[in-house]
Structure 1
Amino acid sequence: MSNEKPIACHGCGKDNHSVYFSGNIHSLSAEEIEAWLKSIEAPPFVHVNKSIDHGINNVRYGVVHCNTYEDTCVFFHKMKLKKYFGPSETVMKFSEAREFRSKKLIEYREINPQSSTITSTFSSTSSISSSTSSTLIASSASMISTSSIPMTTLKPSSDQSKNDTPIPVTDLTQIPSKKQKLEIDCLECAKLNNQIDSLKSKVISLQDELVTAQKKIIAYQDLIVESQKK
């Protein structure tokens, strides 16, 4: 009995993570087909699923499971529509698998094999990077706690103190604010209004004097006319 642990497969139970194959492979087991696929450097896959009828390898078809849909597409487009000569003088061919319910042929997109490899290895890489980062954080914390960092105080040199010139500082309290400016403007406006009112009153009084003078002139003219009649 083999001591190897079974590999976890994310393609089991997912129809679009499978690629169908068939041929005169009734005498081959799933393990033999897996070993043969690895020997010909087939694209990444997890395992081969080949049924056994009454304990005998007399089934002429099976499926290859992949972890991701991207890996499945890469595997299909690399292996499709070709006759492969397998072990024990067998011939097999890879084609589309079918959906579980509708029995329709699965569509496999054209995908860059490099991006598929990155996708399939992302989960393991992320777990390794997270554990590595936690280790680095712990080691950094211990280094900081055990090491002492000398602190130095910088003092200005004598030359610098001699060359320093005082910078004039404006007293902000002497600068009027917007509110104060408005109040000043209002006071000036009030003074101007008072001057205008006084000028208006003077003009009115002069107009009254002018009217009085005109009346006197008219009266004198009437007297002159009457004296001439006599």
Structure 2
Amino acid sequence: MPMFNEEFFSPIWLSVQIAIVSGMFATILGTTIGFWMARTSFKGKLIIETLLMMPLILPPTVIGFLLLVIFGKHSVIGHAIEWLFNQPVIFTWWAAAIASTVVAFPLMYQSAKAGFSTIDADIEGAAKVDGAHPIQVFTYITVPLALPSLLSGAVLSFARALGEFGATFMFAGNIPGKTQTLPTAIYVAIDSGRMELAWAWTICIVILSFIMLLVVRSHSTR
């Protein structure tokens, strides 16, 4: 049975690891930028915000291609990474994490910005008048008030990273035990006619995605 060997569990564990790391990165970046965009107004803000949301609508293959260009051996960033770590980032575990972070970021950013935008500025202003430091205001007032939106965004980011295929396939490849995630493993299993294994992995990712979506829905209906 496929579910009792290393071949079956390896993509699952790798997908969960990558989803956790990329979900954390997306949460940190999305919360930070979402807070800044919710509280500032400047010329060209609409253009910047549109660019931030582009990964949500771009085909994953386009994102993967752009990541190859940005982090490739002919780019400044690619050269810097290879010089620092003595190896390129392409076709590594971190490439899968970067690709997943990029596609998951808009969901976290959108949720964070929406959550911060609904907070009454007078509440934060009152805390500042009472002598609270801006960091204290953010930590003890702003974040708790926006917490439902932040949690929803974090869960959605994790779920999106878990199901990422196109960008990961192009940027990180499909190396078993190294960069082969659940979506790429399912694709290869179907392509090679191993339908029992494909079904087993599909059931796993459906269950995980259902649980993530159920958590988000339970928070939104409270």
TM range (shorter): under 0.3
Relative to total residues, which structure has the larger helix share, 1 or 2?
2
Rg comparison, structure with higher value: 1
TM-score (norm 1): 0.18
TM-score (norm 2): 0.19
Q: Which one has the bigger strand percentage?
A: 1
